Structure 1
Amino acid sequence: MQIGSDVHNYMETLVGQVLAGDDYVLRFTHEQLSDLACLALNRVRPVYIRYDIDFLSALPEERLVVLKQHVDKAIAAATEMIVDDRRKNRDDDGIEVIHGSQYAEEDSELEWYEKPLIGSK
């Protein structure tokens, strides 16, 4: 048995169906679509199955509608996060970068937080 091929999360199928639509494919880059999928999938409860056809034949239509509604809400929330991405408007001038030496100096004294709590015997 291999989890990736024998068992899968049906919610990935539902999220993928929505994100494959022109509304998303034409609006977002491949990287953004991947982020959308991750964010949306983290907001919905996974439904692990073996075979889609068996699952769908036993699933009441009302329950499928509810699952699709959960996916729609999760994708809407994920879309807001991608559209309002704070990372794209960063001001790099305010970030101070400090470069330290690669190796610690052998003779330097330990800081207070580096000193052992228990003394040597």
Structure 2
Amino acid sequence: MNISDDIHNYYEKLVIEYFALSKFDEKYDDDFIADLFCVVLNQLPTRYIRHEVDMAFYLPASERFEMESKVKKAVSKAVEFMKSHRATS
């Protein structure tokens, strides 16, 4: 077993999905997105999993909604932080 391949933070998947839906790749360059991804994840709790199917099957809809809400809030804060940080650099 290679732990780095088998275990990951479920919030990473949610953030990637949100970035794709928001079309961040059309709005920002790769460096900005990579930094933004880190800033967002540092605001969120960790939720480690081995298999996506486990989360899909066992995660109640209310908890999924709460996790997605946390992602949206973290992204919003991170975008503002990144934009203000770039403006002052």
TM-score by length of 2: 0.91
Give the Å deviation of 1:66.
0.2
**CA distance in structure 1 between the partners assigned to 2:22 and 2:11 by the alignment:** 20
Give the Å deviation of 1:23.
3.5
Structure 1 counterpart of 2:27: 27
Structure 2: gaps (5+ residues): none
Larger radius of gyration: 1
Structure 2 counterpart of 1:52: 52
Length, aligned pairs only: 89
Structure 1 counterpart of 2:3: 3
Give the Å deviation of 1:22.
4.7
Higher helix share: 2
Aligned-pair identity (%): 30
Alignment of 1:92-103 (within 5 A): none
Give the Å deviation of 1:89.
4.0
CA distance change for structure 1 residues 27 and 12 in 2, over 3 Å: closer, same or farther?
Answer: same
Moved >6 Å (runs of 4+): none
Q: CA RMSD in A?
A: 1.4
Structure 1 counterpart of 2:68: 68
**CA distance in structure 2 between the partners assigned to 1:63 and 1:89 by the alignment:** 38
